[in-house]
Amino acid sequence: MRHLKKTLEVEINKYEKPIKEIIGKSISKVNYFELDYGEPAWDENDFHSLDYGIEIMTSDKSTFYFIWDRKYAQFDIKFQKGSILSEFGSENNSKKYNVTNNEKWTELIDTKIIKIESSWSYFNHSNDKKRNYFPQDVRIDFENGKEIWISALEIIDNKELGMKDHLTIVFDKKIASKFNIGIRNFDL
């Protein structure tokens, strides 16, 4: 069991290392990418709901993105430096929305990022007791005391559905708690 904990700690640190590159930077621009429904479908008032991903530009002109992926589980969170467009094949039917001036983002723009932490979850196959761990959420803390959560889940009818081909962005700790976002469901 001790070996498993050490292996998982190493994997979490390996996962978080590139994300922590944005600590000390500030966000200057935010774009959302989702399927083109003819009009934006991401604004759910209490949170933002994306069927694909978020691209962040920092004040030093670097670009980073979060998308749902399937490296660790059927659906988890991928973080990458560079343009989100590198993820699209030749058929790109997504729509880009610049949300930099959205009220949820305005108090975070040009504010230094001071901490980043991932929350991992696990699943078992029905006939197996082995735990399969994956990054479910990422929390970003800002110098002004604000924080956001990016989660590989979808909220439908006021219920969270984990491990989805979806990202939910939450800007309030109470909303994150309500939907069990950022809560580790195991001990290391």
Name the pTM for this structure: 0.89
Burial class (CB in 10 A: 0-12, 13-18, 19+), 6: exposed
Tell me: pLDDT of 188 over 60.
Answer: no
| Residue 116 · residue 101 · CB < 8 Å | no
Domain of residue 103 covers: 2-178
pLDDT band at 187 (very low <50, low <70, confident <90, very high): low
pLDDT the model gives residue 168:
94
Say if 105 falls within a structural domain. yes
In the predicted structure, residue 2 carries a pLDDT above the cut 70: no
Confidence band (pLDDT; 50, 70, 90) for 89?
low
Number of domains in the chain: 1
Tens-place pLDDT, residues 126-174: 777 788 888 889 999 999 999 999 999 889 998 887 777 889 999 999 9
- Side-chain-facing half-sphere of 114: CA atoms under 13 Å: 9
* Mean pLDDT of the 101-124 span: 93
Residue 47 lies in a domain: yes
**Average pLDDT over the chain, rounded to an integer:** 88
> Do the domain assignments include residue 185?
no
